[in-house]
Amino acid sequence: MNKTSPPNNFEEDMRAEYDFSGGVRGKYAKDLVQQGYTIRVYEADGNYSERTVLGEQIVVLEPDVWEYFPDSETVNRALRAIISVMPTNRANHTAAG
């Protein structure tokens, strides 16, 4: 089964009145990815911490690239290999790019 296949019991769980024929997969996902969202974790003493998820820290791979780099581990490994052969003065690259 590939990652986009529904579970084996998918058809059994769907009711006849459900009609997704006009649905669009990921219709709101792009906005969520761009804006990100905040997770708030409450402690027992009433204090809380917040963490922003997604937003500007996310990188979206095109399908042809994703075929070669299907997860964070492979992407990070490839980028670290590229970084290892780059000149060490990082400031020169950020100013030029």
What per-residue confidence (pLDDT) applies to 47? Answer: 92
Taking residues 66-86, what's their average pLDDT?
A: 92
Evaluate if residue 95 carries a pLDDT over 80. no
**Confidence (pTM):** 0.41
Cβ proximity of 42 and 55 under 8 Å: no
Cβ proximity of 70 and 78 under 8 Å: no
Best CA proximity match to 72, nearest among 84, 81, 60: 60
Taking residues 61-68, what's their average pLDDT?
A: 90
Report the amino acid identity of residue 1: M
Average pLDDT along the chain: 78
Task: Report helix, strand or coil for 38.
Answer: strand
